[in-house]
């Protein structure tokens, strides 16, 4: 079997030769980096592998997720493991599901100029500009559904000239929707009541005494409700 061709990339300014078929994440691991924390597919948080990169000879800065983008020859890249957002601190129990709640903590949404940079950069292909428009109008359900697939990588905020933390706006809308607008699941409430009443305490104590193999066997042989 022929050996795969290697290409040169630059990670945090240092040159490495890596197989051309790899994603940025796998190329970093090939180069010796250990991604132990942060990245979702490496026991961390999905969306934490946001990367800024530039291809030699191209003036444009590009961004994306390291788990999705394939390396290119002459790629210069740097990780953004955490984007510093504007984050409101609130008690969801004290907020009504309305535009006033979002405005109180994220008034910058009204500075949106509709440039659509947030939507263009989203690696999940979410219509970010649209869910911010829903938030501005107080359409909590619309904002919640449109932002549902967000993995909070922060790339939308990185590109936003109005300095909106769109992903934090989306999660507030989803929390408001889940608490106040989503119909209650009676089966879920019944199960919560059973747990709080101690119905499963004996079974939990038994499971805690099993080793890993016994737990695996128990899990894969369980009866699944329709």
Q: Does residue 79 contact residue 101 with C-beta atoms inside 8 Å?
A: no
Q: Calculate mean pLDDT across residues 61-88.
A: 87
Residue 15 lies in a domain: yes
Rounded distance between C-alpha atoms, residue 94 and residue 92, angstroms: 5
Q: Are residues 106 and 176 in the same domain?
A: yes
Residue 123 lies in a domain: yes
Which pLDDT belongs to residue 81?
67
Say whether pLDDT at 134 is over 70: yes
Residue 1 lies in a domain: no
Taking residue 178's Cβ as centre, other Cβ atoms within 10 Å add up to 12
Q: Are residues 154 and 206 in the same domain?
A: no
Say whether pLDDT at 43 is over 70: no
Residue with tokens 């969801």: 92
| Structural domain for 50, as ranges | 6-79
90 contacts: CB under 8 Å, gap ≥ 6? 101, 104, 105, 172
Say whether pLDDT at 188 is over 60: yes
Q: Calculate mean pLDDT across residues 125-139.
A: 97
* Closest among 70, 61, 30, 68 to 158, alpha carbons compared: 61
Counted domains in the chain: 3
Which pLDDT belongs to residue 38?
59
Q: Calculate mean pLDDT across residues 190-194.
A: 94
Q: Does residue 140 contact residue 181 with C-beta atoms inside 8 Å?
A: yes
In 35-173, where do the E strands start and end? 50-55, 62-65, 75-79
């Amino acid at each position: 079997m022929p050996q795969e061709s290697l290409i040169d990339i630059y990670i945090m300014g240092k040159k490495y030769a890596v197989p051309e078929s790899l994603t940025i994440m796998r190329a970093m691991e090939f180069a010796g980096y250990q991604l132990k924390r942060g990245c979702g597919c490496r026991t961390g948080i999905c969306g934490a592998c946001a990367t800024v990169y530039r291809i030699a000879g191209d003036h444009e800065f590009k961004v994306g997720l390291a788990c999705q983008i394939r390396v290119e020859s002459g790629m210069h890249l740097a990780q953004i493991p955490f984007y510093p957002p504007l984050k409101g601190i609130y008690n969801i129990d004290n907020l009504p599901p309305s535009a006033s709640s979002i405005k109180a903590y994220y008034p910058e949404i009204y500075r949106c100029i509709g440039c659509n940079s947030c939507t263009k950069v989203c690696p999940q292909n979410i219509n970010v500009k649209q869910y911010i428009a829903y938030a501005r109008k107080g359409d909590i359900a619309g904002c919640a559904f449109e932002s549902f697939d967000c993995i909070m990588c922060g790339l939308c905020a990185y590109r936003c000239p109005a300095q909106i933390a769109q992903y934090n706006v989306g999660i507030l809308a989803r929390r408001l929707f889940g608490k106040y607008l989503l119909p209650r699941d009676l089966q879920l409430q019944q199960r919560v009541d059973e747990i709080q009443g101690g119905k499963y305490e004996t079974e939990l104590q038994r499971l805690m005494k099993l080793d890993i193999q016994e737990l695996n066997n128990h899990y894969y042989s369980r009866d699944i409700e329709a």
